[in-house]
Amino acid sequence: MVEGLPPEKQPIASLEALEQKSKKMALNGLRQAINDCVEMSSRFDPAEVQKLDSQLRSHGIVTLSELRRRYSKGYAKIVKRARIKNETEYYLVRNVLDDPTEKTPEERELLEKMLSGYEAA
């Protein structure tokens, strides 16, 4: 619940109202909101991400690291470039790799190669 907002203005109520008008618009809005949250989480330090991932995993909820892998524009750029530029990118890739969510063997291999390359530099 968002403090200070009446029940009909809460995010879930807005999403449900949009869903009544158009399921496609509601889905697009939800995707955008997830992406915004994932991008905002880029400021979290690695220990915060690991703690949150652990809490989410213990409740059977998809982890932040997995959401970053799926939705993050920054993660997509790193993978496309196939090289880690800085410590922030390093921890993003490290957390995605350490997350037990299934990845293809090719993705796992690329992530490991990028981590090794960065660690060797």
Do residues 92 and 74 touch, judged by C-beta distance below 8 A?
yes
Confidence band, pLDDT 50/70/90 cuts, at residue 1: low
Q: Which domain holds residue 33?
A: 7-43
pTM: 0.62
% of the chain residues with pLDDT over 70: 98
End-to-end CA distance of the chain: 46
Are 81 and 36 in a shared domain? no
Are 71 and 98 in a shared domain? yes
CA distance 44 to 105: 28
In a domain, 1, yes or no: no
Do residues 79 and 34 touch, judged by C-beta distance below 8 A?
no
In a domain, 69, yes or no: yes
Strand locations in the chain (E): none
Total number of domains in the chain:
2
Are 20 and 79 in a shared domain? no
